[in-house]
Amino acid sequence: MQPYSALSLFKNAWSGHRNWPRAWRDPEPEKSYDVVIIGGGGHGLASAYYLARNHGIKNVAVLEKGYIGGGNTGRNTTIIRSDYYQEANSRLYEFSLKLWEGLSEDLNYNIMVSQRGTLQLAHDEGQWSSLSRLANRMQVNGIAAEMITREELRKLVPVLDCSEHARFPILGAMRQARGGTARHDAVAWGYARAADRLGVHILQNCEVQGMDIKHNRIVGLQTSRGYIGAGAVGMAVAGHSSHVAAMAGLKLPIETHMLQAMVSEPLKPVLDTVVMAGALHAYVSQTDKGEIVMGSDLEFYPSYAQRGNLPRIEQIAQETLALFPSFSRLRLMRTWGGVNDMTMDGSPIIGRTPVDGLYLNGGWCYGGFKATPGSGWAFADTLANQKPAELIAPYSLERFFSGHVIDESGHGPVPQAQ
């Protein structure tokens, strides 16, 4: 398969872009694979890619029940950042951010990483203190972060209402200049193409319907495209971890909740950074096409419906307008919902399960997209070596029973509050 380059773009332009080869193959399933990954989203595809690239394990299949990137990979607000307090989170998300920085070159696919900076707004003294504490901790961990005052913020984001009469007056913000956005669909496509080039089979419309477990070891999967034998199986189906794991008789510390996001009609460049208001749970950015992307809060009740309710849309519109009054005439173009694995401590679960050969990568809460490269890297290591990689060792399923929860927000086992 030809690598993408300026030359290939030029050549294909001559033929009206009608002769581009397909980006990845559409193979028939083999009888068995060394490693089978369930879930063709960012995490599953990244895991397959790094299995082939870093560990030379190329007899790998990625099973996707629909089309790749059709789940949460294509339903998030595309923000990447590593502003976490807990050490394990800080390490994982920073490792991911470093991979994001070189990912387009690595995959030979433009995933449009734009390090436009992320801002976490502080609306009162308490939030200012807590963000200062976070910024200090990040700097101790070697991650650049800075606190900026309202005056600096006013210059940085002129469209933000920094007046004293704002509905939610702003004191200042914490800025991570290396944070930003990436093109979410392209992440799935880029990993799929790169994994395919290394020999990985990507099997779409292939739903897992059952697990074949003998003597507490997984040996294969019943799928809608027939039986597939497996040396090891990795589940990367966040949003659906509970009922896929239930096929192996497992019960997980996860509740599935729905999160909505929406975009406006496109407009000229007006917002060149990512603005997040933790107190409102609103996060706003502008895409390269010009749409304003608005992310909202959970619906606060368990749901598998990949569609939202109007009260939450109204709320996020109100919050966005409180922050950016000049957006008041924008029309919403699209709204959508994704289903989130919400864990009992707000951190993901990656590693072994009680079934030998079966590994779990899920429970990503809101943090899945930004973790994609790091998670794939570490999960591939885990699947290749049959033991949890050091980077993700703290995220074991057993942590809930040994008292080692990683509770970033300190809410306890209340998933909707994470």
How far from chain centre, in Å, is Cα 242? 18
9 binds another protein (CB under 8 A): no
Shortest distance, position 208 Cβ to another protein, whole Å: 15
Determine how β-strand 79-80 pairs with β-strand 180-181. Answer: antiparallel
State which of residues 121, 233, 254, 316 lies at the interface with another protein (CB under 8 A).
Answer: 254
Tokens 């099997």: give the residue: 203
Nearest residue (CB) to another protein, 251 versus 331: 251
Give the Cα separation of 106 and 394 in Å (integer). 28
238 binds another protein (CB under 8 A): no
Shortest distance, position 89 Cβ to another protein, whole Å: 19
Nearest residue (CB) to another protein, 85 versus 400: 400
* Residues facing residue 230 across a β-bridge: 33
Asked if 380 and 392 count as a contact pair (C-beta separation under 8 A), the reply is: no
Q: Is 410 exposed, middle or buried (0-12, 13-18, 19+ CB in 10 A)?
A: exposed
State which of residues 41, 117, 253, 376 lies at the interface with another protein (CB under 8 A).
Answer: 253
Binding mask 381-400 for another protein (x = CB under 8 A): -------------------x
Which helix (H) or strand (E) segment holds residue 90: the answer is: helix 87-107
Footprint on residues 272-331 left by another protein (CB under 8 A): 300-305, 309-311
Binding mask 332-371 for another protein (x = CB under 8 A): ------------x---------------------------
In a 13 Å sphere around the CA of 107, the CA atoms on its Cβ side amount to: 29
> Could you tell me the sign of the dihedral formed by the alpha carbons of 225, 230, 236, 239, in that order?
positive
What's the token pair of residue 250? 């497992």
Nearest residue (CB) to another protein, 137 versus 411: 411
256 binds another protein (CB under 8 A): yes
Number of residues that bind another protein (CB under 8 A): 24
Nearest residue (CB) to another protein, 190 versus 338: 338
Shortest distance, position 284 Cβ to another protein, whole Å: 23
What's the token pair of residue 112? 């449009």
Counting other chains too, the contacts that 408-411 makes at CB distance below 8 Å and 24 or more residues apart are 408/84, 408/85, 408/86, 408/89, 408/345, 408/346, 408/347, 409/346, 411/346
Binding mask 102-141 for another protein (x = CB under 8 A): ----------------------------------------
Which residues lie below 8 Å from residue 296, measured CB to CB, with a gap of 6+? Answer: 259, 260, 261, 262, 281, 282, 308, 312, 313, 315, 316
Shortest distance, position 239 Cβ to another protein, whole Å: 10
Site residues for another protein per CB under 8 A: 242-243, 246, 251-256, 300-305, 309-311, 344, 400-401, 413-414, 416
